[in-house]
Amino acid sequence: MLLGLLACCAFIAAVYVTGVHDASNAVAVPVRTRALGERSALYLAALFNVLGVVGAFLLLGEYSASWVSAPEGITGLNGIVAALLVCAIWGVLTWFLRLPSSSTHALVGALAGVSWWTQTKLEDGAEAFGSLAFLPHIFGATLLPLFYLPPLIFLLSWLMVVPFYRLVVGHNPRLVNQHAREVLAVSASAISLLHGLQTGYLYLLLWALLSERIMDPALLQSLTRGGMLLGALIIALSLGAGTLTGGRRIGYTFAYKMVRLDPFRGAVAQGTTAVVQVLGYFLLQVPFSSSHLATASALGAGVNQRFNALKSRIVLQILLVWLVTIPACFVLGVLAMVALQSIH
């Protein structure tokens, strides 16, 4: 009973912190370039995040999740709870530091940690790392997309500035900025919708895994659809509430301190992020970091101008956080797993 309550609290906390932490991905650049006001941007992002969760609930049956699983019994429940707790803690820590980081990386790192701990307790603990209990295809389906997508979107965003600049050069700058702000408003909605889709899809899968290990099997079978609907409602409310209360702290680093963007380059960056999110979600069907994509895209568009708009110290701090997220959450996942196992 106590572990079940802890699991629910950890689940809500992880989703809420994800909303707080990732709100800036969609709203920071539009607010910085005056395409949207701060409050209206957050309301818009929260609305489309909620709609994304609804979409994830409706589409859930059409997608598989070969990259994440969990052992049966108390070990599987402890592992999921430990990963959720680590994800929430890491999100709060990086939010406090005002640095954009990946909630997906944190979750993957924590799941890898609890997987390693679980494997060491099995008789065949010498199995390959790629067959870990919670991440059965950790390298091909989980880690690789998280690492190769940010450099690709940086390059793509940098390249896209050139043709669009040639398209608008010679036109009235006021009209160019006006249309760029319109693109920013639309792309902010698209990024939020796709973020809600991925977050909703991921956490609905985790909700299903939790439900299987908390509820009685007979009761679970009779409440399958209703239970998933309840999970979608919890995710939508938690993510929406987190989005409404987030944005400013990390958004200031993202749009004011990291790189200087005009409306035109901001529109290129946001549009590129939205397009890559669509391709990543519907074609690759693997987890990717919206924080990394948005940051890399803003950097790519921001550096492609005649003057130096980049603040190297801030970028290095962000890259350092990116590099340490998975190993740090791996260690935290192991520690959380040990702590939870010691309760029983």
Distance in angstroms (rounded) separating the CA atoms of residues 177 and 239: 31
* All residues at 6 or more sequence positions from 274 whose CB lies less than 8 Å from its CB, including other chains: 187, 190, 191, 194
pLDDT band at 328 (very low <50, low <70, confident <90, very high): very high
Lowest mean pLDDT among 29-33, 214-218, 274-278, 298-302: 214-218
Q: Is the pLDDT reported for residue 342 higher than 70?
A: yes
Q: Compare 314 and 254 and report the one with higher pLDDT.
A: 314
Lowest mean pLDDT among 8-12, 90-94, 224-228, 264-268: 224-228
pTM of the model: 0.87
- Give residue 183's domain range: 2-343
Is-contact 28 251, C-beta < 8 A?
yes
Dihedral (Cα; 214, 220, 224, 229), 10-degree rounding: -40
* pLDDT at residue number 63: 46
- 187-223: per-residue pLDDT in tens? 999 999 999 998 998 898 888 888 876 765 544 454 5
Number of domains in the chain: 1
Q: Is the pLDDT reported for residue 265 higher than 50?
A: yes
- The 3-state DSSP class for residue 259 equals strand
* Averaged pLDDT for residues 103-132: 71
Alpha-helical regions (H) of the chain: 2-32, 38-59, 73-96, 103-120, 144-168, 173-214, 217-222, 224-245, 248-252, 263-279, 290-303, 312-343
* Averaged pLDDT for residues 15-30: 90
* pLDDT at residue number 82: 92
Is-contact 15 246, C-beta < 8 A?
no
